Amino acid sequence: MPNPVVLVTGAAHRLGAQTVETLHARGWNVIIHYRSRKTQAQNLTARLNQKRPDSAACYPADLSSVEEIRTLAHQACTHWGRLDALVNNASVFYPNPTEKTSEEDWEKVLGTNLKAPFFLLQQCLPSLRISSGSVINLIDIYSEKPLKDHPLYCASKAGLAALTRAWAKDLAPDIRVNGVSPGAILWPDGDSGADEEYQQAILDKTPLARTGNPNDIAGAIAYLMCDAPFVTGQILTVDGGRSLHM
């Protein structure tokens, strides 16, 4: 029987790469999407193909372009002639106080975090219906309890949470749709706000008193995709209990 196939967006590094490795280890063939991290994507693809020949492929796409989304979906669905799961992981995160936010900021954040998952799923629907597939959206605990000066990011993730629940109703019984909502797992790349004082303030509000590990998120995704056939429309919070005190 052919291996199931998953497309993971933003999969060249960080949580996306760990998700790819976890699912690959569970027997999945993986389509690794990247935007600018070509070398990292190619290296990850090569490493996985060494473990299991013809089990990984990578394709670039700018997810702000519906045309490129359409191309990526076609590549993912035709590479092995099937698509069994989609993980919408790619995300843009940076502060944008309301008084300083531009239309370009709106298009960038809402485009990547909300518009792209919608149209990518739309383009993958025929294949996912054939396979009775699964969709996992990466949400954020800030979708419910907003982070100061990040209104666009919080709105985009709240919208993705709403899409998760709406799709779970609209696409059943053919396709299951769930979400994973991380807390503090990896500190943001290049974020000057993530200094030691900022980090400690977050940990002080986390009952488990530590950050999570990328494996925590990848494991949650794998559970919802592989081990929870009667679960749909749910958003699994993986935050060490932090949302209890936000």
Which are the catalytic amino acids? 153
Handedness of CA 169, 170, 172, 178 (dihedral sign): negative
In contact, 147 and 139? CB cutoff 8 Å: no
Helix, coil or strand: residue 57: strand
Spacing of C-alpha 42 from chain mean position: 19
d(CA 134, CA 11): 17
Max alpha carbon distance in the chain (Å)?
56
Nearest CA to 114 among 170, 73, 155, 79?
A: 155
- Smallest CA-to-CA distance from 148 within 81, 214, 193, 211 is with 193
Structure-block tokens of residue 8: 């993971």
Q: What is residue 227's DSSP assignment? A: I
> Does the bond joining 60 to the residue before it have cis omega, within 30 degrees of 0?
no
Closest C-alpha among 246, 207, 182 to residue 14: 182
Measured CA to CA, the distance from residue 194 to residue 80 in angstroms comes to 41
